[in-house]
Amino acid sequence: MEQPVPAFGYETEVEIQHILARPAFDELVNLAAETCLTAPRRMELHEQALKTAERPPTADAELVAKLGLWGVRSAHEMHHYPDSFTGRGGSRDPLQEDILLGDSSIMHPSRFSGRIDRDVQRKIEAFGQAVLDEAFICLGEDALDKVREYQSARGAKQKLHIINWLTKRVDQIQRHTDPRTEDVATEAVSPTGAGAEDEVAKEVYFYHPARLSPKLIGQFPDIEFNPTCLGVSVLVAAFAQKAGIPYLHAGVAQSSGEASREDYIHAIADVMVRAMDMGIKFPDAVRESFADIVRDAREELYKDHGYHAAVVMQITPTKWLQIDTNFNACRMYYKQESLELCEVYKTLTKLKPVAPSLEHMYDLYTGMEQPFVRMLYDRLHEQFAPTPEAIRSYLLEHDTATLAELAETFIDPLFSSEDNDATTQALRLELKRHTDGFIWKEKPDSAGRVPELHMQDVIRRYVFPDANNDDLTASLARCKRDPAYLERRVEDLLLAPLLYIVMLTGDLSNEAINGSGRYSHATLELGLPAYRIGAAILSDFDIYCGGDIPASFWLTYWPSHVSVTERIGQHENRPDEYIQRNTATLLAKTRLRYSKSHSIIQKFLEELPD
Amino acid sequence: MASEREKLEKYISDAKLGPVSRRKLLKAFDADNPSPGHGAPNPNRTPVKML
């Protein structure tokens, strides 16, 4: 991954560039403070407090100095996710070995960032802290009582009650001046309403950094402007900060919907491989349909919809919550997920004195639909695996059958077994979830679609398009007098369970995409709140109102993937380009990145001169 | 009825801000900006295509 080193002395050039950027940075902080804070001087108090709290360097400081922030975060991410540089289930990448062996360009921090000036870091964190103070005021006069209630609450249930109040209040603030009326909102969630929602979003949510300003947003119920998604996350964070709740601020690297699109693509690839293994040929129409589906899913996955933010907070030692009112994605994590979040929180908190800007990817994604689909594959192979002979016999032995009966012969063996093993139990449970309407609940466009119906769809469209409604009598009769027809049907029926799995995966993906499943986000980029919020807001102000600060400055002071992709290609000179190139290459190598980053980074790296 | 943008422009024009900050904030409305920033108010709800 190492790139050609530019001319001698690039580190000095970067340092000079950063020193020259200081006036622009100070001006940016002043602009953001004046816009966001009623009393900008309060920021100075926080700055002073941070300075006073500083301690002499520790062993952690040596580690950070040696590896740099990008190196430290990569090492931590690899520790938590050994496959982070390989892809799910992929082979190990030499880069990972290099890092683990300590012989890689990532061991040279100056190739990814400049020297850190603690004064700049303090300003960013103090600004974030002051924004949190100000944002608390937005929550309304009764917010302080709710903080006290939370602090005296006993047990998770009481605390959740207050958190529900918080999410409701934030939602009220968010919608207070939202011109989307109930009517428009209803249209936006109609079966074909995705486009309508986009149109509304374009019209209403034009982006301006002032929407991040708690000072301009106002105090509930007198809300002047609804905040952006980052502004909303700051409101939630402000409550957690005031109540002393352990929490982290998050960039949503991959939402559940995005993960589902990726899953769908993987499912189709899997089906094609499995079909090849089974010696089954795809009809041209199916192959073309797969290509179209994958192309479309990729396009949507890599679309740049902007960055999104959320908050995760701990309400008991083993319970963490994800709060994201924007995406209708507020949920409690499972115990194991919560324990992993505890680890990330501990790591970031421990390193705060020496690396307050450190970020960490949290990948809790184990798949919403994948386990289910994987179980179906396994069952298909291990216990079901219809053979051409068995299918041929069925078609020759039956004179009459309905689509439903034929579908059942395929579905039943998938979901039932004489062994009451764990897989069978899990599949039965999943089937119950689907048929009870848990998955398809309140979904007008596919209400009532249960797995059996998917299989009927497949058989009707891909095996017996000549069937007379649901009656297969004529088709079965033809099987007996037309050997060529029979053989084609045998081949099509071998393919049917695989097509069924694709259809089911697609349906489950759409459940995650339309938000009715309230899934957790798949991958989050986590950071300590005050610093992350300060950096994110300043970065947005710089993008819209400044732009005089070099990209390498942001890569140094906010080692987030956002810093890489937000200013990609906007390098001032060779050293700046060199640092951008290295960080972009690092991101290109890891699977733990923002969905939208893929195409941005790929384009940047392809267009770079050698 | 004023659009959200017009309302925000007026608000910034009238807000207690220094002249430099005000000018920069107003200029931001017409920023020729390749990045949408933290501006993802809604998730991408476009469904995947079905078989």
Could you tell me if A498 and A597 lie in one domain? Answer: no
Sheet order of strands, A309-316 included: A331-332, A319-323, A309-316, A247-254, A523-527, A359-363
Are A365 and A519 in contact, with CB atoms under 8 Å apart?
no
Separation between Cα atoms, residue A534 and residue B25, nearest integer Å:
18
Could you tell me if A315 and A233 lie in one domain? Answer: yes
Residue ending a domain, among A465, A493, A526, is A526
Residue A379, pLDDT > 70, answer no
**Chain B residues with CB-CB distance to A193 below 8 A:** 45
Residue A449, pLDDT > 50, answer no
Residue A104, pLDDT > 50, answer yes
Q: How much is the pLDDT for A441?
A: 36
A178-196 b/e (C-beta count within 10 Å ≥ 16 → b): bebeeebeebbbeeebbeb
Are A459 and A496 in contact, with CB atoms under 8 Å apart?
yes
Residue A47 lies in a domain: yes
Are A232 and A174 in contact, with CB atoms under 8 Å apart?
yes
Q: For the residues A492-496, what does the mean pLDDT come to?
A: 88
Separation between Cα atoms, residue B11 and residue A224, nearest integer Å:
9
- Residues A295-322: tens digit of each pLDDT: 999 999 888 778 899 999 999 999 999 9
- Is residue A402 classed as helix, strand or coil in its secondary structure? strand
Could you tell me if A458 and A327 lie in one domain? Answer: no
Specify the number of domains making up chain B.
Answer: 1
Residue ending a domain, among A481, A500, A526, is A526
Residue A277 lies in a domain: no
Separation between Cα atoms, residue B19 and residue A462, nearest integer Å:
68
Please tell me the least confidently modeled range out of A47-61, A427-441, A459-473. Answer: A427-441
Best mutation target among A207, A230, A252 (most B Cβ atoms within 10 Å) is: A207
Residue A124, pLDDT > 90, answer yes
Residue B40 lies in a domain: no
Strands A309-316 and A319-323 turn out to be antiparallel
Which is nearest to A506 in space by CA: B47, B46, B22, B36? B47
Q: Which of residues A492 and A197 earns the better pLDDT score?
A: A492
Residue A551, pLDDT > 90, answer yes
Q: For the residues A160-189, what does the mean pLDDT come to?
A: 69
Please tell me the least confidently modeled range out of A198-207, A211-220, A367-376. Answer: A198-207
Could you tell me if A382 and A425 lie in one domain? Answer: yes
Residue B21 lies in a domain: yes
Residue A397, pLDDT > 60, answer yes
- Can you state the percent helix, strand and coil of chain A, rounding each to 5? 65, 5, 30
Could you tell me if A565 and A479 lie in one domain? Answer: no
Could you tell me if A220 and A191 lie in one domain? Answer: yes
Separation between Cα atoms, residue B17 and residue A606, nearest integer Å:
44
- Is residue A311 classed as helix, strand or coil in its secondary structure? strand
Is any Cβ of chain B less than 8 angstroms from the Cβ of A322? no
Contact A545 B12 (CB under 8 A): no
Could you tell me if A190 and A246 lie in one domain? Answer: yes
Residue A410, pLDDT > 80, answer no
Average pLDDT, chain A: 82
With a pLDDT cut of 90, the percent of chain A lying above it is 42
Q: How much is the pLDDT for A531?
A: 98
Are A558 and A26 in contact, with CB atoms under 8 Å apart?
no
**Chain A residues with CB-CB distance to B20 below 8 A:** 31
**Chain B residues with CB-CB distance to A311 below 8 A:** none
Max CA distance (Å), chain A: 92
Could you tell me if A220 and A354 lie in one domain? Answer: yes
Pick the most confident of A99-108, A310-319, B37-46. Answer: A310-319
Residue ending a domain, among A454, A485, A513, is A513
Residue A99, pLDDT > 60, answer no
A74-94 b/e (C-beta count within 10 Å ≥ 16 → b): bbbbbebbebbbbeeeeeebe
Amino acid at A275: A
Q: Other CB atoms closer than 10 Å to residue A368's CB: what's the count?
A: 22
Separation between Cα atoms, residue A397 and residue A474, nearest integer Å:
14
Q: For the residues A494-512, what does the mean pLDDT come to?
A: 83
Q: Which of residues A547 and A358 earns the better pLDDT score?
A: A358
Residue A561 lies in a domain: yes
Separation between Cα atoms, residue A463 and residue A345, nearest integer Å:
54
Residue B51 lies in a domain: no
Residue B44 lies in a domain: no
Q: How much is the pLDDT for A146?
A: 98
Q: For the residues A429-437, what does the mean pLDDT come to?
A: 54
Q: How much is the pLDDT for A67?
A: 87
Token pair in block for residue A119: 């004064």
Is any Cβ of chain B less than 8 angstroms from the Cβ of A212? yes
Residue B15 lies in a domain: yes
Identify how many contiguous H helices and E strands chain B contains and give both numbers.
2, 0
Q: How much is the pLDDT for B27?
A: 87
Residue B24 lies in a domain: yes
Separation between Cα atoms, residue A152 and residue A546, nearest integer Å:
45
Of A306, A503, A540, the CB nearest to B50: A503
Which is nearest to A263 in space by CA: A593, A590, A502? A502
Q: For the residues A426-442, what does the mean pLDDT come to?
A: 50
Residue A44, pLDDT > 60, answer yes
Residue B21's domain comprises: 1-30
Could you tell me if A87 and A24 lie in one domain? Answer: yes
Could you tell me if A442 and A483 lie in one domain? Answer: yes
**If contacts are CB pairs under 8 Å, which of residues 242-261 in chain A contact chain B?**
252, 255, 257-258, 260-261
Q: Which of residues A401 and A505 earns the better pLDDT score?
A: A401
Could you tell me if A209 and A99 lie in one domain? Answer: no
Start-end of H helices in A329-450? 335-351, 370-379, 388-397, 403-415, 422-435
- Residues A222-262: tens digit of each pLDDT: 998 888 899 999 999 999 999 999 999 999 999 888 888 98
Residue A449's domain comprises: 371-513
Could you tell me if A246 and A195 lie in one domain? Answer: yes
Residue A450, pLDDT > 80, answer no
Residue A557 lies in a domain: yes
Q: For the residues A557-575, what does the mean pLDDT come to?
A: 87
Are A315 and A159 in contact, with CB atoms under 8 Å apart?
yes
Residue B35 lies in a domain: no
Specify the number of domains making up chain A.
Answer: 3
Best mutation target among B1, B3, B38, B50 (most A Cβ atoms within 10 Å) is: B38
**If contacts are CB pairs under 8 Å, which of residues 1-51 in chain B contact chain A?**
4-5, 7-8, 11-12, 15, 17-18, 20-21, 24-25, 27-29, 31, 33, 35-51
Are A330 and A322 in contact, with CB atoms under 8 Å apart?
yes
